[in-house]
Amino acid sequence: MSDLISISDAIELVLGRVTPLASQRVSLERAAGRFAAEAAVSIVDLPPFAASAMDGFAVRAGETPGTVPIHGRIVTGTPSPTALAEGGAIGISTGGVVPEGADAVVPVELVTEQDGMLIIPNPVVLGDNIRPRGGDLAAGDTIVAPGTRLGAAHVGALAAGGVADLAVGRRPKVCVLVTGSELQAPGTPLGPGQIYDANGFILEAQLAAAGAEVVRLPPVRDDEAATFAAIEQGLNADVLITTGGVSVGVHDLVRSAEAQLGVIEIFWRVAMRPGKPIAFGVRGETLVFGLPGNPVSSLVGFELFVRPALLALQGASEPRPRFLPGVLAAGSKRVAERDSLIRARQVVRDGSVVLEPLSGQDSHMIARAATADALVLVPRGEGLLEAGSAVEYLPLA
Ligand code: AMP
Ligand code: MG
C-alpha cells in the first residue's frame, strides 16, 4: 500500500485551505486579468438606442419598393433631427440613431439617389439592418458574474455597459525562495559543481500569469540557520513557495525549518511523476508550498497545486486545473502507483488533439520541457499506455 496521496486529493486539500483574499475596487483600466468579486451590471441598455447596422437610409418598410423623398442625413453621435412620421428616407451611417417612425435601414448599395429622391427597387423587410435597443443586454443585467476572470472581451463589455470601476479579488503576495548551495544566478560565472537557478525564473513567469505579486528572496544555501531565516521572512506573504530541499537528503532542510516556524504540514509526497516529494502546509492564512528542486518537478507542481490556490485566493469560480481530452500519439510507459505528467506537443489531426510525447522526460530536463505545450496525464499502472489511447492533458501557456 502506498502512503502517497493522489493528485486530485492533494488539489482538494490545497483548495480546502484557501480563504479568498479581501476584494478591492479597481478602475476598469486595471481590471484585465483580475477576478470579479461581485456581479457587475450594465447601467445602460446595449445598444442604448435603436441603431443602424449599415450605411444607408432609414425608411419605412411599408413604402418599399418605391421612390420616396430624402429628408436629410443623420450625423452619428447625435439624435436624429427628424422623424419619419410621414414617410420618406433619411441618410444614416452605421451606429446612427434610427429616427422615430423608421422601421428599416436599406443599405446604400441597394438604392439610387436622384434629385432629392431615393429609388428603392426591391422590398425592404421590417427591422432590416436595425440593431434594436437592448438587443445585446438590458440595463441592470449582469455583464460578469462573481468569480469570472476578466479577459479582453469582459472589460470591453463592462466599458460598453458604462462600468468605470469594480470590485476584484486582491492579488496574492507570493514569496519565492529557491534553496540549494549549488545555485548561481545567470550572469555570473559557474564554479565547479554549480548550476544556474532556473526555478526562480520559471516561478516568476508562472506567478505573473496567475496574477500574483512576486517577492523574490535571494537563493539560500543548504544551511540550517540561513534556511530558517529566509523561510521566516517568507512566511509574511500570503503564499510562500520554496524549491528544493524537500526530499529525504541530508541537506533537505525546508520541512524541518517550516515545522519549527509553526507551519502545519497538510501533506508531503503525492503519487505523481515528476514532483513526488511536494509538500504543502499552512501557517495561519499563509499557504506554504515546498516544490521539489528539479525544474520540471517544480513547473508541474505549480500547475497542479499552486496555480489553483492562487486563482482561488483571488476568488476564481473555477480554480481547478482544466484537463482536456486528447489522444496519445505514442505508447507511454506507466508508472506503478504514480500518475505521470508527461511533456508533449499538441497537434490537431482529424479534428482531435493528438499529443506527441517529447523525448527526454527526466525531471531535470528543463530545456526539453521548454518545447512542450501540454502535460499529458498517464494514469498509474503496469506496462504501456498504448498509442491511440484517449488521455487527458493540461495545456501549458
Ligand atoms: P533538491 O530537491 O534540492 O534535492 O534538488 C533536486 C535537483 O534539482 C538537484 O539536482 C538540484 O541541483 C536541482 N535544483 C534545485 N534547485 C534548483 C533551481 N533553483 N534551479 C535549477 N535546478 C535546481
Ligand atoms: Mg537541494
188 CA distance to ligand 1 centroid (A)?
18
Residue type, 50: A
Is 340 within 8 Å of 384 (Cβ atoms)? Answer: no
Q: pLDDT digit string (tens) for 27-36?
A: 999 999 999 9
Report the first-to-last Cα separation within the chain, whole angstroms: 36
- Of the candidates 111, 133, 128, the one whose C-alpha atom is nearest the C-alpha of residue 120 is 111
Ligand closest to 201 (CA) is 1
The pLDDT of residue 363 is: 96
Query: How many other C-beta atoms can be found within 10 angstroms of the C-beta atom of residue 373?
Result: 14
Given a cut of 70, whether residue 66 has pLDDT beyond it is yes
* Percentage of the residues of the chain whose pLDDT score is greater than 90: 96
Q: What is the CATH number of the domain that holds 27?
A: 3.90.105.10
182 CA distance to ligand 2 centroid (A)?
8
The pLDDT of residue 161 is: 98
Considering the domain architecture, whether residues 139 and 60 belong to the same structural domain is answered as no
Q: What does the DSSP 8-state code read for residue 171?
A: P
- For the Cβ of 47 lying below 6 angstroms from any atom of ligand 1, the answer is no
The residue whose CA has the least distance to atom 6 of ligand 1 is 293
- For the Cβ of 297 lying below 6 angstroms from any atom of ligand 1, the answer is no
The residue whose CA has the least distance to atom 10 of ligand 1 is 294
All three cell numbers of 54, joined, read 449599415
Considering the domain architecture, whether residues 177 and 293 belong to the same structural domain is answered as yes
- Of the candidates 329, 311, 308, the one whose C-alpha atom is nearest the C-alpha of residue 7 is 308
| Alpha carbons 284 and 200: distance in angstroms, whole number | 25
All three cell numbers of 212, joined, read 500574483
- For the Cβ of 198 lying below 6 angstroms from any atom of ligand 1, the answer is yes
pLDDT band at 1 (very low <50, low <70, confident <90, very high): very low
Considering the domain architecture, whether residues 294 and 347 belong to the same structural domain is answered as no
Considering the domain architecture, whether residues 220 and 292 belong to the same structural domain is answered as yes
Residue type, 97: V
Q: pLDDT digit string (tens) for 187-212?
A: 999 999 999 999 999 999 999 999 99
Q: Domain of 279?
A: 5-19+169-312
Q: pLDDT digit string (tens) for 315-326?
A: 999 999 999 999
The SS3 call for residue 40 is: strand
Considering the domain architecture, whether residues 353 and 307 belong to the same structural domain is answered as no
Considering the domain architecture, whether residues 117 and 175 belong to the same structural domain is answered as no
Considering the domain architecture, whether residues 331 and 383 belong to the same structural domain is answered as yes
Given a cut of 90, whether residue 85 has pLDDT beyond it is no
The pLDDT of residue 180 is: 96
Q: Which of 15-24, 160-169, 251-260, 339-348 has the lowest mean pLDDT?
A: 251-260
**Region 6-30: what's the mean pLDDT?**
98
**Region 65-87: what's the mean pLDDT?**
91
**Region 240-268: what's the mean pLDDT?**
94
The model carries a pTM of 0.95
Is 360 within 8 Å of 372 (Cβ atoms)? Answer: no
- For the Cβ of 294 lying below 6 angstroms from any atom of ligand 1, the answer is yes
Last residue of a domain, one of 167, 190, 218: 167
**Region 125-149: what's the mean pLDDT?**
98
Mean pLDDT of the residues in the chain: 96
Q: Domain total for the chain?
A: 4
Secondary structure (DSSP) of 45-68: -BSSS-EESSSEEEE-GGG-SEEE
The pLDDT of residue 3 is: 80
Given a cut of 90, whether residue 2 has pLDDT beyond it is no
Considering the domain architecture, whether residues 308 and 255 belong to the same structural domain is answered as yes
**Region 332-358: what's the mean pLDDT?**
97
**Region 104-133: what's the mean pLDDT?**
98
Given a cut of 50, whether residue 41 has pLDDT beyond it is yes
> Which atom of ligand 1 is nearest to 292's Cα?
2
Considering the domain architecture, whether residues 162 and 174 belong to the same structural domain is answered as no
- In the chain, % helix, strand, coil (3-state, to 5) comes to 20, 35, 45
Is 233 within 8 Å of 242 (Cβ atoms)? Answer: no
| Alpha carbons 166 and 199: distance in angstroms, whole number | 35
> Which atom of ligand 1 is nearest to 200's Cα?
19
**Region 338-360: what's the mean pLDDT?**
97
12 CA distance to ligand 2 centroid (A)?
28
All three cell numbers of 2, joined, read 502506498
Residue 317, in any domain of the structure: no
Considering the domain architecture, whether residues 267 and 384 belong to the same structural domain is answered as no
Is 397 within 8 Å of 328 (Cβ atoms)? Answer: no
Cα angle: 365, vertex 368, 371; to 5 degrees:
145
| Alpha carbons 256 and 232: distance in angstroms, whole number | 12
The residue whose CA has the least distance to atom 11 of ligand 1 is 293
